[in-house]
């Protein structure tokens, strides 16, 4: 059952005066939500870095790995 369905069922069981209070509260919360300014648009990580114009290929990454790990000892004797 969704939260909306749960709320509807709960409000149906309330006396009329309590239902009116729930409606007033819901309307107040909605007007507050409508009055809030929207936040800044979300930028993806890639979109946030787009201004850098950085185009890195898979080949560039592979080359950097070879350079970094080229002298790393492969066989370690303990």
Name the helix (H) or strand (E) containing 62: helix 58-69
Q: pLDDT for 67-78, tens place per residue?
A: 888 887 777 666
* pLDDT above 70 coverage of the chain, percent: 92
Domain count across the chain: 1
Q: pLDDT for 30-53, tens place per residue?
A: 999 888 887 777 767 767 777 887
Residue 54 above 90 pLDDT? no
Closest by CA to 46, choosing from 34, 57, 54, is 54
49 in a domain, yes or no?
no
42 in a domain, yes or no?
no
- Domain assignment of residue 12, given as a range: 3-35
- Contact (CB, 8 A) for 14 and 23: no
- Contact (CB, 8 A) for 7 and 19: no
Measured CA distances, 34 to 3, 27, 49 (Å): 21, 10, 32
């Amino acid at each position: 059952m969704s939260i909306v369905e749960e709320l509807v069922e709960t409000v149906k069981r309330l006396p009329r005066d309590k239902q009116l209070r729930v409606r007033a509260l819901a309307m107040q919360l909605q007007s507050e939500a409508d009055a809030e300014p929207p936040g800044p648009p979300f930028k993806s990580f890639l979109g946030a870095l787009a201004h850098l114009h950085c185009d890195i290929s898979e080949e560039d990454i592979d080359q950097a790995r070879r350079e970094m790990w080229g002298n790393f000892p492969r066989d370690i004797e303990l």
